[in-house]
Structure 1
Amino acid sequence: MITLAEDNPTPGQPAPSPVGFDNVPATETPMDLKVQGQIPSWVQGVMYRSGSGKYNILLDNGDTFHVGHPFDALAMLHRFAINGNQVKYSSRHTSNGVEKRILEEDPTLLTFGPDPCKTIFGRLQSVYHHISNFNKNAQLQELDPEFDMVNVTITPNFPIGTALEKETGVERGQGLVVKRDANTLQLVDAETLEPLKMFTYAHVDKKIQGLLCASHHQYDEESNKYVNFMVRLGPFPSFQPFMIGPYLPETSSDEAISISSSPPPPPKTQLCEPIWRNLGAWQTMEPLKPSYIHSFSMTENYIIIPNFPYYYSFGGLSAIYYSCAYQTFYWDATRHTLFHVVDRRTGRHVATYEADPCFSFHTSNAWDQLETLPGGKTERVIYMDHCMYTNTDIIDASFELGKKQQSDNDSNSTPIKTSKVDLDKVAPARYVHIKKNTEGKSDHAIEPSQVRRYRLGQVPDGQLQQQPQQQQQQQQQWYQSYQRFSREYNQRRVASYTVLAHDVELPRFNSRYNLKPYRYLWGVCESKYAPSYASGAVRNGLIKVDLDKPWQGKNTDEHATAKIWDEPGCSCAEPIFIARPGDSGGDMEEDDGVILSIVNRGHQCFLLVLDASTMVELARTWVGDFNANTIHGSFMDQYGKGVAVN
């Protein structure tokens, strides 16, 4: 969308967004924030937040280019250095190369939201430019650390590999990396947030190939491995998990991460068997189709990749036709959700489970255990928690994230109308309407998420790696034949689930319980002071649920077990749980810690600190007169180790 120069009410500055998004100013020089209340003295470290910064870009001719979807706003990072009641804040825009491409009208830019003004001829041109400029863009990405936009999750201690360590000068264990759902990552300076390198997983290890991956990785502290997966599109799509270890250099708990002396061996990559078809296809007749996957589950022994019926049309090739993700995906309610299970010990795809059609952005925790059956036999069972929806209406709500809000305390302000674009202020005048799933529903209302605990029973429990090499090779040959022809191996497997809570999104839990049974979950929920997500600017409260006390009603019911922080006019970002230091195996409670979140209210934002057990406010510190539009974040302790990473 473009606002013409003659229609700009703020000459010399970008015109206001016709759909309600404001630019966020950067604060590159750290500044001290004034704290109201008391942050516990043991909260020491750095909180990083990733998100969106620029929505409105002034072009050379005076016109203003407007971003229509918040996921497409230029990336921005925020840094909070916390030492008890002392907080220093800084921020930086990290997609200046993308802004340059917008100014140059680069036709190869891919976005999440649709461009409603692009004609069929314009889409055909996009296909041509994507194909003809593929190698050129790859070279430019090597040279420009801000060439593409990466703004979803932020990961301290990322294992960037020997080659990137040498090229960038970043020592092992000190890489701060921003990730997204594609195989494009951005290394940034942990102090200044300056982008250092745009790279792919192939830079870490050439064996890791593919176009897509999950924004949210998994980490196993015991094995010290970073885990993710790659997706290959095309006529023969596949999923391929991989593990990189060691993730962190060996250090004591009170020692700063460093490799200044006796550097450890470089990380090594283990590729798992590609998942190229559904085990159980003889019964379900559902071939593997790539779908949108934002996160996945892992236990001590297994990797579980969800395969929701929210598919890439034409194997993903339609993305270069539409130049956006929203129009590339389609929902097929006639097909199952599939959970593909890979044995971490053997690297093999051992089972696929089917469930009702559903969709999820975010997983929570998962674990596997042996359970005794009647008669004394045992079975291996996987339990995994998802914030699950019955369809993809939540995607429509994403259009409203970060939109300008009217402060409940500002009676003189004019309400912001964001439901329609002012066609007289946008060029070209013929604005093509993009139909959304929630249209036709009362107030665009969507059903909130369910915290579902899935049970995958009778999981194959292979132990090939414990056998001698020669016997292992014989077993693998037998295994491959067994995989192709055994009806038991290809049997139809069904995932059952129990609903533990309602209206929880962006879930976080105590990372000391990772891959183990746990009790408490924190997240965001709809604010009771605002309408449904998809009907206007999104407003969130913060919620804590007790998974040992499932509740089938609303979180605000009189006897509900949930605890909520929710104030009028506030919208909270993903909560980060920081556990109180100490021995988790002693008397320390699972919810003994604090919650950190960024809260927008009106045209301001503040850092909020809550007691994680009671959800009572401990402190807040005002950041500035703007909305910090962040979704995900991570916390790194004073020794440089990520202790709450997403």
Structure 2
Amino acid sequence: MITLAEHNPNCEKNEPAPSPVGFKNVPSITTPIELTVQGYIPAWVNGVMYRSGSGRYNLLMDNGDTFHIGHPFDGLAMLHRFEIQGESQTVKYNSRHTSHGVERRIRQRDPTLLTFGPDPCKTIFGRMQTVYHHISKFDTNAALQEDDPEFDMVNVTITPNFPLGESLEKETGIKRGEALVVKRDANTLQVVDPESLKPIKMFTYGHVSKKLQGQLCASHHQYDEETDEYVNFMVKLGPFPTFQTFTLGPYLPSPPGEKEQMPAPEPTLHQPIWRHLGAWKTMEALKPSYIHSFSMTKNYIIIPNFPYYYSFGGLSAIYYSCAYQTFYWDETRHTLFHVIDRHTGQHVATYEADPCFAFHTANAWDEDVELPGGRRERVIYMDYCMYENTDIVDASFELGKTPTGKLDLDQVQPARYVFDKNTHHKKEHQIAPSQFRRYRLGQVPITESSAKKWTPSWKNMFDFSKWTKYNKRRVASYTVIGYDLEMPRFNSRFNLKPYRYCWGVCESRHAPSYASGSVVNGLIKLDLNNPYMGPNTDQDATAKIWDEPGCSCAEPVFIPNPEGTAEDDGVIVSIVNTTLDNGNESCFILILDAATMEELARATIGSFNAVTLHASFVDNYGRGVSVN
């Protein structure tokens, strides 16, 4: 949602008017400052935490009006950097706004700017004009994006050691394994300087390899440390959308003293045959849905297909100029899990589940289970922060708003009308917290070796035995092993393996629920081996929670103790926004003992609230330790 406020009383101060919906701009600190540490940071915590998020919501226009951004996902991108040295008990902080090109486009009233939230002021005629401008300015925008590293807004996940490929490495001068890249749910990425956070280059996966073409991908990639593979998927929109998984790597920098790595090979493309296979069973094309993350095991890639679809194959996004109005929830259709063999690229099975939706996945693994009679079954287990519908997407409008919601509307010109969210018609609506579900995909077919890989061709197009073999629908079962955990993080040493502990954010017990007008979070640790089905705050609950009045926590980062042996031997690092008793705001970095969830240290960043979405941590050698 984007609105324009007129008659700004703050224009004489050269400041934008306050947001009519409660969002505040965050100042950048481009020169690193040392924060005052209260408490003790374990001596082994040494490295840099990067956080991505939003920083500007209210822009002063040339004529004195204020341009207001109404959805937190559309807040102009901002990056934060924390250099933590437990050995010296120091924390240095710097930040940067990284969407100045988007600011220019807003001031120029660029009609091709795509957002997540809707613009309530755009008329039907204006939308028709938008379609025309998108078509007529496509080549122009592509050229501008090539030269302007801040032309588009990328602010979701931040990935160190990204595999840029030979061409981009040569253009940017960045050595292999040293690229710091910001990503989103579209095929637009941004390379930034790992120290100053200054944007260097905006690019697409097509820059890495011309074989990678499409509009959508997951903000959260998957990574296999043993094979050093970066895995993601691509969706090409249109009347008949196509899906394609791909692998990039190796790309991690060599530790000191080790031999330099060989040049990265060309991407391994997993052909999009699985989409067509799924269509033959039901005689209907699979619809592209909103996918923020996906699952992977040592042998499989699992792409979810929630019944939260892009209308008209995603083409309606051009008409609305936003994602939110493009999406629609169809509770009559199943959620599908498409399983692709990592070694052959073949689609091996599709599993049906009840209609549901998730932003985030946790861990996943596969194993062979012995059955009675000596038979064996290949099983995939995968964990999701799952919801029974998409009400949580409506709740996302409240992320980062002031908890009180009290504003002096005499100082602002509210939007001409408020967009009707999908949950407004529900009486006494309460958003149910997430269910931490463990899905079981049984009887996974074991495919032929890659040397005998079957691929579609005109010759075997009508060999229905092949299509039937790979298209048989199976049923995904699940068990709820916890409640109210979002932004899941776990010990990366257990990635693609069975694990016990998961950390994340939960609803604060000191604030109303997400449906009330603000999203206020505490931090939670779940013991997945000892689930408790009652409230996490019960005396008998196995969950451990850090939750203080007036505080709202961002996604936690788990940093393992290098010398530790226990799965939860490490620390949790988060950013906490708080509103003090006098109404002033404050933001601080928080470090907890991951096992006990007790506070170890904190350091105040500034008198503001910074909304951050995701984070990664790299050690002193620049290698990712906890990446999202």
Class of the TM-score when normalised by the shorter of the 2 chains: over 0.9
Q: Is the 8 A contact 2:347 2:470 kept in 1?
A: no
Distance between the aligned counterparts of 2:533 and 2:497, measured in 1?
A: 24
Equivalent in the alignment of 2:440: 455
**Equivalent residue letter for 2:413:** V
Deviations 1:457-511 (A, max 9, x none): 111111322x5xxx66799999876666554433220100000000000000000
The residue matched to 1:136 in structure 2 has which SS? helix
2: CA distance between counterparts of 1:278 and 1:451? Answer: 31
Between the aligned partners of 2:378 and 2:48, the Cα distance in structure 1 is 39
1:78 aligned partner: 80
Instruction: Show the counterpart of 1:525.
Output: 506
Aligned to 2:603, the other structure's residue is in SS state: strand
Q: Map of 1:566-585 to 2, 5 A cutoff?
A: 566-582=547-563
- Structure 1 residue 558: Cα displacement: 2.0
Decide whether the 8 Å contact of 1:186 with 1:197 is kept in 2.
Answer: yes
Q: How do residues 98-177 of structure 1 correspond to structure 2 at under 5 angstroms?
A: 98-177=102-181
Deviations 1:420-477 (A, max 9, x none): xx699437x7x34322222244554201100000000111111322x5xxx6679999
Is residue 595 of structure 2 the alignment partner of residue 605 of structure 1? no
Deviation at 1:8, TM superposition (A): 3.7
Q: 1:12 deviation in Å?
A: 1.3
Partner of 2:582: none
Residue 3 of structure 1 and its aligned partner are, at CA, apart by: 1.7
Give the structure 2 partner of residue 4 of structure 1. Answer: 6
Counterpart position of 2:406? 416
The match for 2:58 is 56
Letter in 1 for 2:616: S
Q: Relative to structure 1, is the Cα distance of residues 514 and 170 closer, same or farther in structure 2, using a 3 angstrom cutoff? A: same
**Matched positions, count:** 619
1:631 aligns with 2:613: yes
Amino acid at match of 1:184: T
SS at match of 2:129: helix
Aligned counterparts, 1:139-218, within 5 A: 139-218=143-222
* Contact 2:17–2:411 under 8 Å retained in 1: no
Indicate conservation of the 8 Å contact 2:19/2:412, yes or no. Answer: no
> Which secondary structure does the structure 1 equivalent of 2:400 belong to?
coil
Q: Post-superposition shift, 1:265? A: 1.2
Q: In structure 2, what is the equivalent of residue 350 of structure 1?
A: 348
Task: Give the residue type in structure 2 aligned to 1:125.
Answer: Q
Q: 2:295 aligns with which of 294, 297, 302?
A: 297
Query: In 1, Cα distance between the equivalents of 2:341 and 2:460?
Result: 13
Once residues 307 and 475 of structure 1 are traced to their aligned partners in structure 2, the CA distance between those partners, rounded to angstroms, is 22
Structure 1 residues 35, 273: CA separation in 2 closer, same or farther (over 3 Å shift)?
same
Out of 600, 603, 620, which is 2:602 matched to?
620
Q: Does residue 322 of the first structure (1) align with residue 324 of the second (2)?
A: no
Query: Does structure 1 conserve the Cα–Cα contact (< 8 Å) formed by 2:168 and 2:208?
Result: yes
Structure 1 residue 267 displacement after superposition: 3.7
Q: Using the TM superposition, give the Cα deviation of residue 10 of structure 1 relative to its aligned residue in structure 2, in angstroms.
A: 6.4
2:413 equivalent in structure 1? 426
Equivalent-residue separation in structure 2 for 1:201 and 1:483 (angstroms): 34
- Change over 3 Å in CA distance of 1:515–1:6 after alignment to 2: closer
The answer to whether the Cα contact below 8 Å between 1:13 and 1:58 also exists between their aligned partners in 2 is yes
Q: Distance in 1 between matches of 2:237 and 2:93?
A: 41
Question: Structure 2 residue aligned with 1:38, among 20, 32, 40?
Answer: 40
> What amino acid is the match of 1:162?
E
Give yes or no for contact 1:180–1:215 (8 Å, CA) kept in 2.
yes
Partner of 1:545: 526
Unaligned segments of structure 2, at least 5 residues: 580-584
Amino acid at match of 1:446: I
Cα distance change on mapping 1:490 and 1:6 into 2, 3 Å: closer
CA contact (8 A) 1:543 1:565 kept: yes
Q: Which runs of 5+ in 1 are unaligned?
A: 407-414
- Aligned equivalents of 1:617 and 1:115: distance in 2? 42
Change (3 A) 1:354 1:642: same
Q: Is the contact made by 1:444 and 1:532 (CA closer than 8 Å) also made in structure 2?
A: no
Instruction: For 1:416 and 1:357, locate their aligned partners in 2 and report how far apart those are by CA, in whole Å.
Output: 37
- Cα distance in structure 1, aligned partners of 2:71 and 2:465: 45
Deviation at 1:7, TM superposition (A): 4.0
- How many angstroms apart in 2 are the aligned matches of 1:579 and 1:366? 19
Distance, in Å, in 2 between the alignment partners of 1:138 and 1:99 is 17
TM-score between the two structures when normalised by the length of structure 2: 0.95
Q: TM-score, normalised by structure 1?
A: 0.92
Letter in 1 for 2:150: E
Deviation string for 1:46-87 (max 9, x for gaps)? 000000000000000111100011111110000000001200
Deviation of 1:276 after TM superposition, in Å, equals 5.5
| 2:337 alignment partner AA | F
Map 1:387-426 onto structure 2 (within 5 A). Answer: 387-406=385-404, 416=406, 425-426=412-413
CA separation of 1:592/1:394 partners in 2, compared to 1, >3 Å: closer, same or farther? same
Alignment partner, residue 375 of structure 1: 373
Match of 2:624 in 1: 642
Q: Tell me if structure 2 keeps the 8 A contact 1:483–1:490.
A: no
Which deviates more, 496-505 or 442-451?
442-451
Q: Which residue of 2 aligns with 1:464?
A: 449
Q: Which amino acid aligns with 2:366?
A: D
Q: Note the alpha carbon deviations across 1:279-330, whole angstroms, 9 max, x for none.
A: 4556545531000000000000000000000000011111011101110000
Q: In 2 relative to 1, CA 627–356 (structure 1 residues): closer, same or farther, beyond 3 Å?
A: same
- Who is 1:438 aligned against? 423
Aligned partner letter, 1:451? F
Q: Secondary structure at the match of 1:60?
A: coil
Say if 1:556 and 1:474 are closer, same or farther in 2 by CA, change over 3 A: closer
Counterpart-to-counterpart distance in 1, 2:307 and 2:456: 34
- Please tell me whether the aligned partners of residues 279 and 351 of structure 1 are also in contact (alpha carbons under 8 angstroms): no
SS at match of 1:268: coil
Aligned to 2:566: 589
The range that moved more, 31-40 or 240-249, is: 240-249
How far, CA to CA, are the matches of 1:589 and 1:287 in structure 2? 47
Closer, same or farther: CA 15–39 of 1 in aligned 2, 3 Å: same
Say if 1:151 and 1:180, in contact at 8 Å, map to a contact too: yes
Deviations 1:178-213 (A, max 9, x none): 000000000000010000000000101111110000
238-247 vs 184-193, greater mean Cα deviation: 238-247
Hey, what does 1:409 align to over in structure 2? none
Q: Is 1:534 aligned to 2:515, yes or no?
A: yes
Supply the distance in 2 between the matched residues of 1:473 and 1:350 (Cα, whole angstroms): 11
Instruction: State whether residues 274 and 340 of structure 2, in contact with CA within 8 Å, keep that contact through their aligned partners in structure 1.
Output: no
Inter-partner Cα distance in structure 2 for 1:388 and 1:496: 13
Could you tell me how far 1:9 is from its partner in structure 2? 7.4
Name the counterpart of 2:477.
496
Deviations 1:617-641 (A, max 9, x none): 0010000000111010000011110
Provide the rounded CA distance (Å) in 2 between the counterparts of 1:644 and 1:572.
18
Q: Could you tell which deviates more after superposition, 606-615 or 439-448?
A: 439-448
Aligned to 1:411: none
After superposition, where does 1:243-254 map in structure 2 within 5 Å? Answer: 243-249=247-253, 251-252=254-255
Q: Secondary structure at the match of 1:190?
A: coil
Corresponding residue of 1:68: 70
Cα deviation digits, residues 226-249 of structure 1 (max 9, x gap): 000000111111210000011224
Instruction: Among all aligned residue pairs of Structure 1 and Structure 2, give the percentage whose two residues are the same amino acid.
Output: 68
- Asked if the contact 1:345/1:463 (under 8 Å) is kept, the reply is no
